[in-house]
Structure 1
Amino acid sequence: MFKRYEWMIAWRYLRARRSEGGISVMTWISLIGIALAVFALIATLAVRAGFRYEFVGTIVGANPHVSVYSYGETLPDGRLTRTISNYDALADALAQVPGVTSAMPVVEGQVMATANGRNAGVQVIGVSLEDLRRVELVANPEESAGSLDDFESGIALGAVLARELGVTAGDRVRLISPDGQKTPMGTSPRIKVYDVAYVFRVGRYDIDRIRVYMPFEEAQLYFNRTGVADQVHVVTTDPESVDMLAPAIAAAAGVGSYLFTWKDNAGAFLRALQMEDNIMFVILSILVLIATLNITSGLVMLVKNKGRDIGILRTMGLTEGTVLRVFFLCGASIGVIGTAIGVVLGCLFAVYIDPIFSFVNWMAGGGVWDPSVRFISALPARLELGDVLSAVALSLTLSFVVTIFPARRAARMNPVEALRYE
């Protein structure tokens, strides 16, 4: 498409000194502007992808992908209960659904935990040791203390909760439930002391702060759930496709049951992230557009300074198309080189974000990142091919488009007018 001499002329114009009528300074400004804009776009997209990956990873790694509940049944005394009595059979039926890796019955409740004169409201989940090993981020956490093998003789706590209570593995925690033993004087709170067998950190603050795991049979006794479970937690092979599996899971659960997926639970987070993604992409696209407009200003100056050269080239037989391609190559080359530099810088930022952020945190005196506000323990970044390609496509497209106008202006220049006063 482009002849060799067209590349030669374009390259000669790009590297010309200002004394020769070139625009080398404007060339560098345009190139640096595009590189920085593409770098900012890729870095932002990488952090955005990292946020979503970490959010989803901690949600599906420490929570069920689907929770199966019962609509409830009326007991002989007239009370309505939503517990599941045939939980073992239901779990076996759910585990047979294609795409389901495990189904575990659980007992769940909210109580108060106290130790060393400190109190905290916690969420207690009763689950068997075998099923707890299938909770990926609990079985393989960021940090841990104690041993999961000792779980059946105690309880497991989130790391932030353990720190707030001032305990670690081997210490004791008192759990207080308002729904305790029924006596002639009314219901008395149930108070029981448990050994801390295991402390885990999954990396999500709202889980590490309130989550307590208790052996399933002990939880049945503690919460007055003898012979029943509150729900069945289902884990799938592909959490992102959980909506496609929902009909099959509902059919296996049978009449009288309903589902609640992780997307239902985290819908607000996902929608907020998606909205932020769209807004940031639009804003940074404007930044890339502003950077590419420097190419237009530089080429307009180049065309004005090279008017005599254009007139001579036209009288030598060069066509309008040739002149257009020469100046298009000038602008497009700046866009391509600037984009390439920006891609390299953006990818390096995503790869080395931890030391970079540690340096920023050190320069700011610490405290830049608060996991209690952002829910995850570190600034994430994740390079995705689609994000890099979208940034490259946007930058190159804008670079090529803004180059067309000054290139056409050069091509349509009348050689007689260009040489009249030479």
Structure 2
Amino acid sequence: FDLREDGYEESREGFPHSGWKYRRDHARMEKAWEAERKRIAELSREAARLASGKPQKDSPEMVESDGPTIGFGGPTLGTVLPEGIREEGAGESPVYFDAETDQYPGIILGIATCSNKSRDAEGNVRDHYYCRPGDDVRLMFPNASDKPKVVNQKFTVVDLYESGMSEYDSTFAFVRLDQLQDFRGMIDPISGTTSVTTIQLKLIEGADLNAVRDALRQRFPPDTYAYSIQTWRDMQGPLLAAVRLETTILNILLFLIIAVAGFGILATFFMIVVEKTRDIGTLKALGASGSGVMSIFLSYGLLLGIVGSGVGLIGGIAFVHNINDIASVIEKITGQEVFDPTVYYFTEIPTILNPFTLAWVMAGAIAIATTASVLPAIRAARMHPVAALRFE
């Protein structure tokens, strides 16, 4: 949590100058501005005195006194002791804070808490930063005592983080645990015992979250311990429920689309049976069995399903892999952005290919195509050769 010389660790396009270099330049500018403000104020007072005709007051003469001397040994003009910076003890020199060489306790902010996306005059999306590594921020939070009060503490931004999830990037900040415990009064002054409000456990990949949660709840029953033990799925329950509902609706819509294609196959096969009535009759007259005729149409339906779903699978995968390029082409043609970057905080459209879902959709499409060919195949198999050739 120490400020780096160049500030932000990763290179980011359009990220402003930051770090100790920026902090020193900013502190020098603030000092120069403060000195200029005082000079202008002094000139204004002198001009007002001259305009009023009042004589200039002489500087007070220093005289010896047995009492305390005022104006000596204290802070110089313009020097303020910030929160958390205290005198070391009676008789010792106070500790002064100089923003050019010192920093407050470090804090790492989510990138969405100190920036937003906007468009420039040319319509290009730009990141506008409210603060950067090297700036000071003031945080107010409650302490953990029996009589809660608001703690007002300054921090120095030492870095930014971007998790890719806007909920975290816009609400979470990270500081040193021991410093936060000290500020909030979560350290016992007698025993030195520290306290925390939340403990997060990271399990190995593939671990059963519910089993671990139930084991912890059994070890720390809620009627004995005031602990709320939850998995990340429990905490994100409403969001995951909404995602599951949307996924279910999309699956239903996809099934209906494939079913409509299946009805098209059914109608096409019935037309083929009607058009090939003479051919079917000839085959039956030459000794073809009903099962043989039926297998022809079923094989045709199966082949149609395999070829159609295979072409659709290849086309869908190619579309997903090039979805950002396709979105760019659509934006150029229509002049409208598919996903406005100022609303959706991602630089590209995120995609995930689930092999199980692909296999399930492809198998369903083949099954529907094959099922749609059953009724026409049965009709062709039951066709009598005499009736088929009577009017030919």
TM-score, normalised via structure 2 length: 0.63
Matches within 5 A, 1:225-236: 225-226=186-187, 227-236=194-203
- Give the corresponding residue for 2:165: 204
Amino acid in structure 2 at the alignment position of 1:161: T
- Write 1 or 2 for the structure with the bigger share of helix: 1
Q: 1:259 aligned to 2:229?
A: yes
Do the aligned residues in 2 keep the contact of 1:141 with 1:200 (CA within 8 Å)? no
State the Cα deviation string for residues 116-149 of structure 1 (Å, max 9, x = none): xxxxxxxxxxxx99xxxxxxxxxx99979889xx
- Give the corresponding residue for 2:214: 247
- Give the corresponding residue for 1:400: 370
Do the aligned residues in 2 keep the contact of 1:158 with 1:207 (CA within 8 Å)? yes
Distance 1:141 1:350 in 2: 29
Q: 1:391 aligned to 2:361?
A: yes
In structure 2, list runs of 5 or more residues that go unmatched.
3-8, 20-102, 117-128, 188-193
Q: 1:275 aligned to 2:245?
A: yes
- Give the corresponding residue for 2:314: 344
Distance 1:177 1:326 in 2: 76
- Give the corresponding residue for 1:155: 107
Do the aligned residues in 2 keep the contact of 1:173 with 1:195 (CA within 8 Å)? yes
Alignment partner of 2:134 out of 170, 174, 189: 170
Q: CA offset at residue 291 of structure 1?
A: 0.5
Q: CA offset at residue 366 of structure 1?
A: 5.4
Q: CA offset at residue 192 of structure 1?
A: 2.4
Distance 2:169 2:328 in 1: 23
Do the aligned residues in 1 keep the contact of 2:109 with 2:172 (CA within 8 Å)? yes
Matches within 5 A, 1:60-71: none
Do the aligned residues in 1 keep the contact of 2:259 with 2:368 (CA within 8 Å)? yes
Distance 1:401 1:326 in 2: 14
Distance 2:321 2:104 in 1: 41
- Give the corresponding residue for 1:43: none
TM-score, normalised via structure 1 length: 0.58
Aligned-residue RMSD, C-alpha: 3.5
In structure 1, list runs of 5 or more residues that go unmatched.
1-127, 130-139
Amino acid in structure 1 at the alignment position of 2:212: L
- Give the corresponding residue for 1:409: 379
> Structure 2 vs 1, CA of residues 378 and 325 (structure 1 numbering), >3 Å: closer, same or farther?
same
Do the aligned residues in 1 keep the contact of 2:111 with 2:160 (CA within 8 Å)? yes
Distance 1:250 1:181 in 2: 27
Do the aligned residues in 1 keep the contact of 2:143 with 2:183 (CA within 8 Å)? no
> Structure 2 vs 1, CA of residues 360 and 159 (structure 1 numbering), >3 Å: closer, same or farther?
farther
> Structure 2 vs 1, CA of residues 141 and 322 (structure 1 numbering), >3 Å: closer, same or farther?
farther
Residue aligned with 1:238, SS? coil
Matches within 5 A, 1:13-412: 153-163=105-115, 166-177=130-141, 179=143, 189-226=150-187, 227-238=194-205, 241-250=208-217, 256=225, 257-363=227-333, 365=335, 368-369=338-339, 378-412=348-382
Distance 1:240 1:282 in 2: 31
> Structure 2 vs 1, CA of residues 161 and 142 (structure 1 numbering), >3 Å: closer, same or farther?
farther
Residue aligned with 1:409, SS? helix
State the Cα deviation string for residues 273-329 of structure 1 (Å, max 9, x = none): 112222211121011011121111111111111111111111111111111111222
Q: CA offset at residue 360 of structure 1?
A: 3.7
Greater CA deviation, 163-172 or 276-285? 163-172
Kindly, what percent of the aligned residue pairs are identical? 24
- Give the corresponding residue for 2:27: none
> Structure 2 vs 1, CA of residues 311 and 167 (structure 1 numbering), >3 Å: closer, same or farther?
same
> Structure 2 vs 1, CA of residues 187 and 339 (structure 1 numbering), >3 Å: closer, same or farther?
closer
Greater CA deviation, 375-384 or 291-300? 375-384
